[in-house]
Amino acid sequence: LYSLEANDIIHALVFSPNRYWLVAATSSAIKIWDLESKVVVDELVPEFENVGKKSQPPHAVSLAWSADGQTLFAGYTDGIVRVYAVGSN
C-alpha cells in the first residue's frame, strides 16, 4: 500500500476504466494520478464567472467515466455537470 497527497479536501474518487489512473475531486481542482508513477498527470479547474466579491469557485462533488475511459463527467456545486475529454496518454 502507498498514499498519494492531494493537499486538499477530497469529495469524490474514481478509477479509470482503461488506465492505471485514480481521479480525485478536491475543493480546488480535479486531480488525475498515474498510479504506476504516483504523479499527477493532469489537473482540471473549471472556468466560471465571478458573481460578486464573496463568490466561491465551484468544486466537483461527483465523478464518473464513460465506458471507454475517454470522457470524464464531473458534477459541481454550482449545479453544472462538466464534461472533460481526457487524452489517451
pLDDT, residue 23, reads 96
Residues 6+ apart with CB under 8 A from 46: 57, 58, 60, 76, 80, 82
- When divided into structural domains, the chain yields a total of 1
- Per the structure, the complete domain to which residue 77 belongs is given by 10-48+55-85
Would you write out the chain's pLDDT as a tens digit for each of its 89 residues?
A: 677 788 889 999 999 999 999 999 999 999 999 999 999 999 999 887 776 777 778 899 999 999 999 999 999 999 999 999 986 55
Residue 4 inside a domain? The answer is no
| This prediction's pTM | 0.84
Residue 75 inside a domain? The answer is yes
Residue 3 inside a domain? The answer is no
